[in-house]
Amino acid sequence: MAESGMAANILVIEDDPALGAGLVAALRGAGYTARAADSLAAARDALQAETWAALVLDLGLPDGDGLELLRLLRRQGGAVPVMILTATDRRETRLAGLDGGADDYVTKPYDLDEVLARLRALLRRSLGLASDILPFGVPAGAYELDLGGQVARAGARTLMLTQREFRVLSVLVRRAGRWVSKPDIEYAVYEDAVEIESNTIEAAVYGLRRKLGAQTILTARGLGYMIPR
């Protein structure tokens, strides 16, 4: 089922390594947590191991048809939003995918910005949100995070954030009211956390506090960081 709150953990089920890695990198760049599964078996394991806010599903997988996974998921009562992203453009397949429980159907080659916009729409609907603009801060609603425009604002003023600061802020705002550990932020923001310098997240949080105010991001030893609701 879809995650509650603002968390957005997205599973990309795609057997082409380059396409899967590219989409995961783009999702992480937009502030989501994301990883790829390259087969039905890997997807089933990921669905058992974690809770996902949305799935991006290819149909032609090496060990079977992605439609079977979708139908099984719906038969079991899974309500997670699913976007089919496939090279198959036959009318019959599109209808089968949508009737089988897909929330959207996009064909390859695709426009990456459109895919991200469609995913934002799926997540908004699943969370009951009206827009991509998320208020946060102290006092409540002092700032807003524009996921579509990838900017943060204080009233009418656009804040000058680095790409790293925006990514970290996106993770924290989506999970507002919850502690987020440093490893979780690293996993959400970077494709390979092993290569991250030890003070990268701390430096981004320090920069955000200077621009947003120290009280906007809380820290607790052993728990991580949190933006209060």
What tens digit of pLDDT does each residue of 169-216 get? 988 988 888 899 988 888 777 654 445 567 888 999 999 999 998 889
DSSP reduced 3-state for 170: helix
Which parts of the chain have pLDDT scores under 70?
1-7, 127-131, 190-197
User: What per-residue confidence (pLDDT) applies to 86?
Assistant: 92
CATH 3.40.50.2300-classified regions of the chain:
9-127
Distance CA 116, CA 114 (A): 5
CA 31 to chain centre: 6
Give the CATH architecture of domain 9-127: 3-Layer(aba) Sandwich (3.40)
Amino acid code (one letter) for 202: E
Distance CA 132, CA 117 (A): 9
With residue 51 as reference, give the H or E element that holds it: none
CATH 1.10.10.10-classified regions of the chain:
133-226
User: What per-residue confidence (pLDDT) applies to 227?
Assistant: 93
Listed as own residue / partner, the contacts of 201-209 with beta carbons closer than 8 Å and 24 or more positions apart are 201/168, 203/164, 204/162, 204/164, 204/165, 204/167, 204/168, 205/168, 207/161, 207/162, 207/165, 208/161, 208/165, 208/168, 208/169
- Residue for token digits 């937009």? 30
What number does CATH give the domain 133-226?
1.10.10.10
User: What per-residue confidence (pLDDT) applies to 138?
Assistant: 76
Which is nearest to 131 in space by CA: 152, 147, 113, 118?
A: 147
